[in-house]
Amino acid sequence: MSLSTLTAACPETAIVLGSGLGGVADLLGVEAEVSYSEVPGWGASSVPGHAGRLVLTRVAEHPILIAQGRRHLYEGLTAREITAGIRLMHEWGVRRVLLTNAAGAIAPHFGVGDLMLITDQLNLQGTSPLLGGPHFHDMSQLYDEGWRQSLLRASGEVGMNLHQGVYAGLLGPQYETPAEIRMLRVMGADAVGMSTVAEAIQARALGMKVAGISMLTNWAAGLKPQTLDHGEVVAVGQQSSQALATLLKAALSC
């Protein structure tokens, strides 16, 4: 399968799937696929739980591009490198991107396995994909209000409790300390992860509509008697992929 098969379908919507959420692509249906290694300029992820392929799917006849797996700053890459896929998809005509991730739950009314619609973000990664320009982009409406409303409507239609909250993106690669989580809570974070914020900034700067959904795979450090483990994060993501696929199908079918 070649890249041109995917781009020829002219998908205007893309979904980026985070840790353990790759199964969502199979649940939505794979019409065509190509490995990131065959996409010039994309680059593969080295993290377990990230498949590294581009998938074409259709929801109610609409072509949708899925990036199954992403690259992270903690792999030793720059913010520009990890957002290369966003710029490529924009070149191909994608105009809105839904970013998903696995995240630790901070807000006390959340539960493990629940989904959170991202209303806004804290970029605590100390870098930006826009370093070197273009400068001074407005980020006051980073996550698109209209798209958020349609995701909320869809969650109601499928009888799902979709939380809303602020996502804090940290550098990683280590999980946070309990003191860092207490700090994040004071700062207004409802969930914490190590991805998404740079992609959101890049997509918005290109004029794309951005939405984000966090799969709450664990309680953030110190909130429960536990230690954090990437294997468990991926396992919870996999178990909850069906719920995410159901929501996306309902939200993207119109």
Q: For binding to ligand HPA (CB under 6 A), which residues are involved?
A: 102-104, 175-176, 192-194, 217-218, 220, 228, 233
Rounded alpha-carbon distances, angstroms, from residue 60 to 47, 63, 76, 83, 238: 32, 9, 39, 28, 24
Smallest separation, CB 197 to ligand HPA (Å): 12
Cis peptide before 173 (omega within 30 of 0): yes
Nearer to ligand HPA, 59 or 220 (CB): 220
Smallest separation, CB 236 to ligand HPA (Å): 9
Nearer to ligand HPA, 74 or 92 (CB): 74
Smallest separation, CB 185 to ligand HPA (Å): 13
Q: What share of the chain is helix, strand, coil (3-state, %, to 5)?
A: 35, 25, 40
Rounded alpha-carbon distances, angstroms, from residue 34 to 12, 39, 94, 173: 18, 8, 17, 28
Positions marked active-site: 19, 50, 72, 74-75, 102, 194-195, 218, 230
Nearer to ligand HPA, 68 or 218 (CB): 218
CB 250 within 8 A of CB 158: yes
Nearer to ligand HPA, 31 or 232 (CB): 232
Smallest separation, CB 194 to ligand HPA (Å): 5
The β-bridge relationship of strands 115-124 and 209-219 is antiparallel
Indicate the residue whose CB is closest to ligand HPA.
Answer: 104
